[in-house]
Amino acid sequence: MNAEVSRAKNIVETYDGPPLRIMEVCGTHTHEIFRYGIRRILPPAVKLISGPGCPVCVTPTGYIDEAVMLALAHGAVICTFGDLVRVPGTEKSLADARSEGAQVQTVYSPLDAVAYAAKHQDEQVVFLSVGFETTTPASCLAVKEARGQGLKNFTLLTANKTMDNAYYLLKGSTDAFLFPGHVSAITGAKIYEKLKNDGICGTVTGFTAGEILAALAVNIKKIQEGKPFFVNCYPRVVSEEGSPAARKLMAETLEPCDAEWRGLGCIKGSGLKLNERYAEFDARLKFALPALVGRSNPVCRCGDVLRGVCRPDECKAFGKACVPEHPVGACMVSSEGACAAWYKYG
């Protein structure tokens, strides 16, 4: 351990001031914090909360219901990342739909789904487009590729989200954030200056144990100073400008919309949908989907977990009815989900 990391670890371990709360909003941070055993060295006065940064976890039940409807009622081939297949919908998951004969393909990128659509032009192919600024540009590339190839059988079911507006909703839940490194590499660090001016504080950080400890130490020191702050603790990856090319791609194909977040409700302007120029690739329009409001299992406290109101092991189903092999809620499905991380390392 180098001297800087050792100093940061010491600041974190020895803090004995007033209680403070720090929220990590990135699912990869949640996972890495557990994996490195960082929670075990935290003093009682420091509470680390897992926020809503896992894209699978915040995807609402109604979205799964829409995907199931597309697969079963419209006969569409659903192409998706593996985790979404097991997320429970109101009545059934995509895995259940598959066992009833629906075609659900696991892919590794949206371009794989375009390639599938190109090879099977007699089938309607829908890619489940979820995620934040890190993964969204790949969906934008996919629709551009589909248009370039003249495909008429490829659409997106969008549930893409941006984090900025969610921070305002979570402002009272934490004293400071560990902002996500990957998302910030696209948005750039300059967005955090506005948040700071609105009293939303924190540090952006990377994913090594040293980087996370350094960011926690900075947060602890700065919270004690009592003034709004933002510190970029990940400058080797996060620049002020971020990635203008990725943002241009998103602006070309998408537009902001209100979005439903599991556990947080509808957050104004926090979603992204295909804009008018790319509307032909919008699965909701193509299949005239009705607005579906999903219902989660009432025992599941994913919403409370995502807002930091309760810890995963405070949910009655945790480790009993709800385990990674048989998840009751989305937070137990993805390896980035707080419940799955608690189950594995907690």
Q: Residues 25, 128, 317, 341: which binds ligand SF4 (CB under 6 A)?
A: 317
Name every residue whose Cβ is closer than 8 Å to that of residue 237 and which is 6 or more positions away in sequence: 181, 185, 206
| Binding mask of the shown chain, residues 123 to 142, with x at each position contacting ligand SF4 by CB under 6 A | --------------------
Q: Is 49 in the site for ligand SF4 (CB under 6 A)?
A: no
The C-alpha angle 302, 304, 305, rounded to 5 degrees, equals: 60
Contact 123, 154 (CB under 8 A): no
Closest separation in Å from C-beta 322 to ligand SF4? 3
Q: Is 54 in the site for ligand SF4 (CB under 6 A)?
A: no
Give the whole-angstrom CA distance, residue 137 versus residue 157: 15
- Which residue, 246 or 331, has its beta carbon nearer to ligand SF4? 331
Q: Is 302 in the site for ligand SF4 (CB under 6 A)?
A: yes
3-state secondary structure of 23: strand
- Which residue, 148 or 298, has its beta carbon nearer to ligand SF4? 298
- Which residue, 89 or 110, has its beta carbon nearer to ligand SF4? 89
Output the residue with the shortest Cβ distance to ligand SF4.
329
Task: Choose the stretch contacting ligand SF4; rule: CB under 6 A; options: 27-35, 154-162, 287-295, 311-319.
Answer: 311-319
Task: Choose the stretch contacting ligand SF4; rule: CB under 6 A; options: 130-138, 162-170, 252-260, 313-321.
Answer: 313-321
Give the whole-angstrom CA distance, residue 178 versus residue 182: 12
Closest separation in Å from C-beta 337 to ligand SF4? 7
Q: Is 331 in the site for ligand SF4 (CB under 6 A)?
A: yes
Contact 87, 64 (CB under 8 A): yes
Task: Choose the stretch contacting ligand SF4; rule: CB under 6 A; options: 19-27, 28-36, 115-123, 322-330.
Answer: 322-330
Q: Is 329 in the site for ligand SF4 (CB under 6 A)?
A: yes
> Within 10 Å of residue 227's Cβ, how many Cβ atoms?
8
Name every residue whose Cβ is closer than 8 Å to that of residue 99 and which is 6 or more positions away in sequence: none
**For 306, left (φ over 0), alpha (ψ -120 to 50), or beta?**
alpha
Q: Residues 97, 318, 334, 341: which binds ligand SF4 (CB under 6 A)?
A: 318
Alpha helices in 180-261 (DSSP H): 181-187, 191-197, 209-225, 244-253
Structure letter (DSSP) for residue 291: P
Q: Is 264 in the site for ligand SF4 (CB under 6 A)?
A: no
Q: Is 263 in the site for ligand SF4 (CB under 6 A)?
A: no
Contact 272, 161 (CB under 8 A): yes
Closest separation in Å from C-beta 19 to ligand SF4? 24
Give the whole-angstrom CA distance, residue 212 versus residue 233: 9
Give the whole-angstrom CA distance, residue 80 versus residue 161: 17
Task: Choose the stretch contacting ligand SF4; rule: CB under 6 A; options: 136-144, 151-159, 163-171, 317-325.
Answer: 317-325
Task: Choose the stretch contacting ligand SF4; rule: CB under 6 A; options: 17-25, 42-50, 153-161, 314-322.
Answer: 314-322
Name every residue whose Cβ is closer than 8 Å to that of residue 36 and which is 6 or more positions away in sequence: 209, 212
Q: Is 56 in the site for ligand SF4 (CB under 6 A)?
A: no
Task: Choose the stretch contacting ligand SF4; rule: CB under 6 A; options: 10-18, 190-198, 286-294, 296-304.
Answer: 296-304
The DSSP bridge pattern shows strands 20-24 and 46-50 to be parallel
Contact 259, 159 (CB under 8 A): yes
Q: List residues near ligand SF4 by CB under 6 A.
A: 299-302, 305, 312, 315, 317-318, 322, 327-329, 331-332, 339
